[in-house]
Structure 1
Amino acid sequence: MPELDRRTVIAGLPAAAMLAASTPAPARPTGTPVFGAETFTLPNGLTAAVIPMRRAPVVAHMVWYRVGGADEPPGLSGMAHFLEHMMFKGTTTLGPGEFSRRVAREGGRDNAFTGHDYTGYFQQVAADRLELVMRMEADRMANLALDARETESERLVILEERRQVIDNVPTRRFRERLATLLYLNHPYGRPIIGWEHEIRAIPREALLKFHERFYGPGNAILVVQGDVTTEQVRRLAEATYGQAPPSPRVERVRPQEPPAEGERRLVLPDPRVREPQMARLFLAPSARAEPDESDALQVLAHILGSGPTSRLWRALVDPGLAASASASYGGDTVDATEFGLHANPRPGVEPARIEEAVGEVIARLLDEGVTDAEVAQAIRQMTAGAAFARDSLMGGARTIGATLAVDLPLDHVEQWPARIATVTPTRVVEAARAVLRRDAAVTGWLMPGERRA
């Protein structure tokens, strides 16, 4: 699921680690860790992960809070994202905007993002400036100042952000409305940025309570990647974050989805749309709930929709029915997630023909299965980029942080290549049969045309 950045919308996290793996491995292998992260926990409850990378004297510093849009009270959607904005508006020692200005003066950069399951803050700075950003981040963890005027001013900024990145972007309006159909009861159906009328209603006092409840060290994860050692980070963490009083880990209690029954459909016309777009979504288990099935669904998504050699591409794009076709699955969530099929018809091709072709691809896969060669190729392609993942200063920090923030174990990332190599054709088809149920799908079309009043 996408994240909402305070400056832009981010499509998703970097893929988990990718190592070359051309042959299946034993059932539960122990391979070389992808990032080699080391972890420790401070007495006040803060979890920390360190990824040494000594190629250049720079570091990526991240703090993740186990709270996102799905943890907000009913009727106050957008609160997690609103608080993310307010974290830049000053503390008892720093004035509004001073955090980012100080990072910039040191030659660094900073930003933040909000997802359904977490909120994250990061800086990239020279290694000898790590203590500075840790001290400032620890300061706003404990001493956030929510000035009333700043709060109301930022509310207007967020409302304008919603207009810019959601209301004025047809594909994002489409995705927002589809989510409300896929999730009948779960808060994943609410937009991360919030509904406009609820953003207007969020009280300053509720933001303060939200910060007090969720922004303690026991609910936070520190991730540092770069030119450091674990002992260096531990020492700095104890001197900064370690000064905050202990806080409990906040348990997530969320409404869950009832069994999916009955196909749901959406047709959303928009005069700014030139060509139709189709999305068919299915509710799918997360890696937390069904780790083996989640691995198989990753391979299934690759076989179905990973480019010119995929089944959807060959069935829709090669014959000229569609300009593009793809599949998606993101299992690194706290609760049930989505498996998606997507297509953009070529001019003159009727939506019914696209749906028929997509249905034929799925029916054939369920009837005939997938081949050993398809699975082996998918595994090779999925795991081919691990060396590049290791070279990215932010890639490891983002992947490790997101994994820990949704309560997956560190090995979910570190052993991913060896684990994904154990997926078999049988497991892929079993996962497809469990998830790709047309009688429980959400099918949406974004169409050219006038918006209804």
Structure 2
Amino acid sequence: MSGLRGILYRSLHQTAWLTLLGMSLAGLPQTALSNPFEYKLANGLRIIVKEDRRAPTAVHMVWYHAGSMDEHNGTTGVAHLLEHMMFKGTPSVGAGEFSRLVAAAGGRDNAFTSKDYTAYFQQIPKQKLAQMMRLEADRMHHLTLDPKEYAQEIKVVMEERRLRTDDQPQARLFEQLTATAFQAHPYRTPVVGWMNDLENMTVRDARAWYERWYAPNNAFVVVVGDVDHREVFQLAEKHYGPIRPHTLPERKPQIEPAQDGIRRLTVKAPAELPVVALAYKTPVLRDVEKDTEPYALQMLAAVLDGHDAARFTRSLVREQRLAVSAGTSYDAISRGPGLFYLVGSPSEGKTRAELEAGFRAELMRIASEGVTAEELVRARAQLVASQIYKRDSMFAQAMEIGQLETAGIPYTAETRILEKLQAVTAEQVREVVKKYFRDDRLTVAELDPQPLPKTSRKSTISTRH
């Protein structure tokens, strides 16, 4: 990160900056603290509006509390498949017409499915918001799911799996790593689904998923942009209000059993470089006020990776020359259990085992010696900057709200999360390393590179909606 310059003057960021500078929020006028605004329709649909007047545009997003973790064996990938089918028409909007209408309005649209949720968005001129709501409300309860369209789209989804997973060695590695790290929790299955399930899926499976989860009382709408929240609420009443709610399936706890020891796997695939990936089971954020460990883990990730002076780049890449690349990945916001990843490729002449030992040695050093004050200051600045910079983008602001809400974290806690991150101490970072980075929480995956094919397979099917 290049620092925090260039943002201070923006009034929309006032509360975050006062927090960053150690000032109190109590003295702010109420109007500065009331944005975003929220309204709940009688059918259970929540409307969250964040006013941002910097450009005459708006982001409109519909989030469904349904992702791949809600699937069952035999129908993995159905959440993602239904996302594709949502663009295939209703009685009033033909197949493929949704995106054409958005483009004609001067906007862009797309959708994405994760383990936790499915979301749809449009970025449009603000005066086109009513049209977007009408289109989204229409497909929320009038989706056609034509068998002929399904027969074509399932081929697209299978090709997407081939292109993005089967033909990508690192994607295959992480798919197998996750499937090994989790034995009971549905996070073990890939979002795109297993190929055999896709091959045997039917339009009836897609319809059952749609009827089970696509309801106003299982969704919320986020609008960020140059809008008046009262007008947005009125539009929501008009377009979404008439949709009837329905009883949702019971969600049962799905607790991953305790791991009894280190797990290892090797994936052989055509690739240029070997890869080593270590995944440790770690907690995620559940209670913004009471939790401390997820914040310390985020700080640890920033100490190890993310800038030229970070430990992995400095020690493993430059000084020891153990790796050509080394990094981390940790997401504190999720519905299910968490994993903290260490990933790298060994340098020429170094083995995967040597790089794994190098990763472990860096963790052991933190467990015994802790992190320095300088490292903590730099990591804190990096994390705070990344949070603040999100507010420069209307889309990023809408994403932040949606991801927090789908994980069960109130979007109103955004500033408090920033404060808690800033309060992390060196001792807390050291303690999470000592507590969670142990062999009985570890899964190690290695990519064993095989000779590359002389010619690569080319797709003839577009995976774009």
Taking structure 1 as the reference length, the TM-score comes to: 0.90
Residue type at the aligned position of 2:360: G
**In 2, Cα distance between equivalents of 1:24 and 1:283:** 33
1:279 matched residue in structure 2? 277
Aligned to 1:12: none
Distance 1:169 1:20, change over 3 A: farther
Q: Does 1:309 align with 2:309?
A: yes
TM-score by length of structure 2 reads 0.88
Q: Equivalent residue for 1:191?
A: 190
Q: Do the aligned residues in 2 keep the contact of 1:186 with 1:254 (CA within 8 Å)?
A: no
CA distance in 1 between counterparts of 2:331 and 2:371 reads: 21
Amino acid across the alignment from 1:245: R
Q: 2: distance between equivalents of 1:241 and 1:21?
A: 37
Q: Does 1:39 align with 2:38?
A: yes
Aligned length: 432
| TM superposition shift of 1:40 | 1.9
Which structure exhibits the higher relative contact order, with contacts defined as CA atoms closer than 8 Å and separated by 6 or more residues? 1
How far apart, in 2, do the equivalents of 1:359 and 1:20 lie?
Answer: 39
Return the letter of the residue paired with 2:446: W
Q: How much does 1:23 deviate?
A: 7.4
Match of 2:208 in 1: 209
Contact conserved, 1:62 with 1:122, CA < 8 A, in 2? yes
Residue of structure 2 in register with 1:430 after alignment: 431
Deviation of 1:386 after TM superposition, in Å, equals 4.5
Note if contact 1:282-1:435 (Cα within 8 Å) is conserved in structure 2.
yes
**TM-aligned CA deviation for residue 144 of structure 1:** 0.8
Aligned residue in 1 for 2:243:
244
Is 2:335 aligned against 1:334? yes
CA distance in 2, matches of 1:196, 1:152: 15
- Given residue 446 of structure 1, which amino acid in structure 2 is its aligned partner? L
Q: 1:327 to 1:82 in 2, by over 3 A?
A: same
> Which amino acid in 2 is paired with 1:291?
D
Give the whole-Å Cα distance in 2 for the aligned partners of 1:327 and 1:103.
Answer: 37
**Counterpart contact for 1:38–1:49, Cα < 8 Å:** yes
Identity %: 37
Change (3 A) 1:402 1:22: closer
Deviations 1:155-181 (A, max 9, x none): 111111111111111111111111111
**For each residue in 1:33-65, what CA deviation from the matched residue of structure 2 results, as whole angstroms up to 9, or x when unmatched?**
899422221111011211111111111100000
Alpha-carbon distance in 1 for matches of 2:303, 2:162: 37
Q: Distance in 2 between matches of 1:34 and 1:91?
A: 40
Give the counterpart letter for 1:106 in structure 2: A
Change (3 A) 1:172 1:443: same
Change beyond 3 A, Cα 1:251–1:49: farther
User: Contact (CA 8 Å) 1:286, 1:332: kept in 2 or not?
Assistant: yes
User: One-letter code of the match for 1:309?
Assistant: A
Cα distance in 2 for partners of 1:352, 1:257 equals: 28
The answer for the alignment partner of 2:169 in structure 1 is: 170
2:309 alignment partner, SS class: coil
Cross-structure match for 2:298? 298
Report the Cα distance in structure 1 between the residues aligned to 2:105 and 2:34, rounded to whole angstroms: 27
* Matching residue's letter, 1:429: R
The answer to whether the Cα contact below 8 Å between 2:20 and 2:419 also exists between their aligned partners in 1 is: no
Aligned counterpart, 1:103:
102
The aligned counterpart of 1:403 is 404
> 2:125 & 2:431 partners in 1: Cα distance?
49
More off after superposition, 363-372 vs 339-348 = 363-372
Mapped partners of 2:305, 2:386: distance in 1 = 18
C-alpha separation in 1, matches of 2:93 and 2:368: 63
Bigger shift: residues 143-152 or 407-416 = 407-416
Is the 1:25–1:422 contact (alpha carbons within 8 Å) kept by the matching residues of 2?
A: no
Q: 1:115 matched to which residue of 2?
A: 114
Q: Secondary structure in 2 aligned to 1:318?
A: helix
Paired residues of 2:75 and 2:205 also in contact (CA < 8 A) = no
| Matching of residue 348 in structure 1 with residue 349 in structure 2 | yes
Q: Describe the SS at the equivalent of 2:405.
A: helix
Classify the secondary structure of the residue corresponding to 2:365: helix
Q: What is the distance in 1 between the residues matched to 2:67 and 2:436?
A: 26
Alpha-carbon deviation of 1:440? Answer: 2.5
Whichever residue aligns with residue 419 of structure 1, its letter is K
Distance verdict in 2 for CA 1:423–1:210, change over 3 Å: same
Q: Which moved further from structure 2: 362-371 or 83-92?
A: 362-371
Q: 1:20 to 1:265 in 2, by over 3 A?
A: farther
**Take 1:324 and 1:35, find their aligned partners in 2: how far apart are those partners?**
44
Number of the residue aligned with 2:90: 91
Amino acid at match of 1:317: V
Equivalent position of 1:7 in the other structure: none
What root-mean-square deviation, in Å, do the aligned CA atoms of Structure 1 and Structure 2 show?
2.3
Give the secondary-structure state (helix, strand or coil) at the position aligned to 2:58. strand
CA distance in 1, matches of 2:17, 2:282: 26
